[in-house]
């Protein structure tokens, strides 16, 4: 669930002007790959790669359900993928064309099987957690040295938020991420599908909302890095990218990422091939290329997200594989939870609750 600065999908044709016999169209999250991999794929296979990007699961899903997207490979997140499989959006993968599938990591495959039983339709691209990104100095200044930076109380306890308001808080504009977190904070099951249980988050969220500078799913990367805000509830890799940018800018801003101790959402972005893909054969070649250990490692080293590729781990840089914020240790792993897709009735309750929280009505 990766979003970036560019809110509109921008098309990026990678072709260097050479003549290609066939082409494959990939639709991935924005800023989610090392772009040198794209030209490498074209050189190795002789297939022209058309690489487009999107920035929300909802946009991708609406296109897929309208049909005939023209894309050969798409990258929905687990819960969305599950619903799309039910709707008949994807074709089963032909593993005889995917020899590199042996590189996949069992630990992740077990978890993604919840969304794609038997892992028949998809392979894991990257995964991560949703948690708290903080500007260490500013938070200490406002809340003191013993601020609960590893707890959801940081954003859900009004006593903290009223103080943090002065230095700026961003929250993901994604109810499917924030509501499970609020449930975890309240000690309820984060994966609850019961409208009455979900309704319990309303007082918590409406108390938080007036102190939130912005509900947005990508602006927090640069806002954190520039020191414009002091807390963001966002995706792990994005916050680590902000940490990296602040380090490079050497602007005195120190960003830290914490997976909340009450539990953090673990999500998976899965590559799959639409049933009506124009070039399923080329799509399989692309998936096989991505599952190559070195290629996958290059992508992770670039975007600071963990991947579902066991063989790639020996090529990962130390600041990726050695960082518990990216590859959690056993302790943190126990604290991670996953969610299931909401049914249409519950989805409506969730969207309505979210509108009420954000608009105050």
Partner 1 sequence: MRRFTLIAVPYLWLLALFLVPFGIVFKISLSDAALAIPPYTPTLDLSEGWAGIKALFAELDFDNFVWLTQDDLYWRAYLSSLQIALFSTLGCLLVGFPIAYGMANASESWRPTLMMLVILPFWTSFLIRVYAWIGILSTEGLLNQFLMTIGIISEPLQILNTNKAVYIGIIYTYLPFMILPIYASLERIDGSLLEAAEDLGCSRLQAFWLITVPLARPGVIAGSFLVFIPTIGEFVIPSLLGGSRTLMIGKVLWEEFFSNRDWPVASAVAVVLLLILVIPIVLFQRNEQKQREAEQ
Q: Which residues bind partner 1 (CB under 8 A)?
A: 8, 56, 58-59, 61-62, 64-67, 83, 86-89, 175, 209, 214-215, 344, 347-348, 351-352, 354-355, 358-361
- Nearest approach, Cβ of residue 243 and partner 1 (Å): 23
- Cα distances (Å, whole numbers) of residue 311 to 39, 124, 296, 299, 308: 22, 13, 9, 14, 9
Q: Please, which residue, 275 or 293, has the CB nearer to partner 1?
A: 275
Taking the complex as a whole, the smallest distance from the CB of residue 6 to partner 1 amounts, in Å, to: 11
Between 96 and 359, whose beta carbon lies closer to partner 1? 359
Q: How far is the CB of 56 from partner 1 (least distance, A)?
A: 8
**Cβ 181 to partner 1 shortest distance, Å:** 18
Q: What is the closest distance, in whole angstroms, from the C-beta atom of residue 154 to partner 1 in the complex? A: 21
- CB-wise, 175 or 237, nearer to partner 1? 175
The nearest distance, CB 342 to partner 1, in angstroms, is 10
**Lookup: tokens for 16:** 């260097």
Closest CB to partner 1 among 105 and 342?
A: 342
Kindly tell me which of 18 and 66 has the beta carbon lying closer to partner 1.
66
Nearer to partner 1, 96 or 361 (CB): 361
Residue 171 beta carbon to partner 1: minimum distance, rounded to whole angstroms = 10
Compute the distance between CA of residue 308 and CA of residue 113 in angstroms, rounded to an integer: 13
User: Which of 194, 196, 201, 146 has the alpha carbon at shortest distance from 178?
Assistant: 201
Query: How many CB atoms lie under 10 A from the CB of residue 314?
Result: 10
Min. distance of Cβ 325 from partner 1 in angstroms? 29
**Which is nearest to 127 in space by CA: 31, 26, 1?**
1
CA distances from 97 to 88, 173, 224, 281, 288 (A): 22, 38, 43, 8, 8
Question: Which CB, 6 or 113, lies closer to partner 1?
Answer: 6
**154 or 349, CB closer to partner 1?**
349
235 vs 342, beta carbon nearer partner 1: 342
Least distance (Å) between residue 344 CB and partner 1: 6
Instruction: Give least dist CB 141 to partner 1, A.
Output: 20
Contacts of 9 (CB under 8 A, 6+ apart): 30, 52, 53, 54, 55, 59
**Closer to partner 1 by Cβ: residue 251 or 351:** 351
């Amino acid at each position: 669930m990766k979003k970036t600065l560019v809110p509109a999908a921008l098309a990026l044709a990678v072709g260097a002007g050479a003549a290609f016999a066939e082409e494959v169209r990939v639709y991935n999250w924005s800023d989610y790959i090392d772009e040198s991999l794209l030209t490498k794929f074209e050189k190795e296979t002789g297939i022209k790669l058309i690489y487009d990007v999107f920035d929300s699961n909802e946009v991708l899903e609406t296109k897929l359900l309208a049909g005939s997207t023209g894309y050969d490979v798409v990258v929905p997140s687990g819960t969305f993928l599950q619903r799309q499989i039910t709707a008949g959006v994807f074709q089963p993968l032909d593993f005889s064309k995917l020899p590199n599938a042996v590189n996949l990591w069992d630990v992740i495959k077990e978890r993604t099987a919840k969304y794609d039983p038997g892992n028949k339709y998809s392979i894991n691209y990257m995964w991560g957690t949703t948690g708290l990104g903080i500007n260490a100095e500013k938070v200490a200044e406002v809340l003191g040295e013993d601020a609960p930076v590893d707890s959801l109380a940081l954003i859900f306890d009004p006593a903290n938020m009223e103080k943090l308001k002065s230095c700026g808080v961003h929250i993901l504009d994604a109810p499917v991420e924030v509501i499970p977190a609020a449930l975890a904070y309240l000690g309820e099951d984060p994966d609850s599908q019961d409208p009455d249980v979900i309704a319990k988050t309303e007082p918590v969220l409406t108390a938080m909302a007036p102190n939130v500078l912005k509900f947005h799913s990508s602006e927090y990367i640069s806002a954190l890095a520039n020191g414009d805000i002091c807390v963001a509830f966002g995706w792990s890799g994005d916050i680590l990218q902000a940490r990296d940018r602040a380090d490079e800018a050497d602007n005195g801003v120190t960003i830290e990422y914490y997976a909340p101790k009450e539990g953090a959402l673990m999500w998976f972005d899965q590559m799959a091939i639409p049933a009506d893909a124009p070039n399923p054969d080329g799509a399989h070649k692309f998936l096989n290329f991505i599952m190559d250990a070195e290629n996958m490692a290059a992508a992770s080293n670039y975007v600071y997200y963990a991947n579902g590729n066991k063989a790639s781990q020996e090529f990962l840089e130390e600041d990726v594989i050695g960082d518990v914020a990216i590859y959690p240790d056993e302790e943190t792993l126990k604290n991670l939870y996953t969610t299931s897709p909401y049914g249409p009735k519950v989805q409506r309750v969730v969207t309505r609750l979210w509108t009420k929280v954000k608009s105050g009505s």
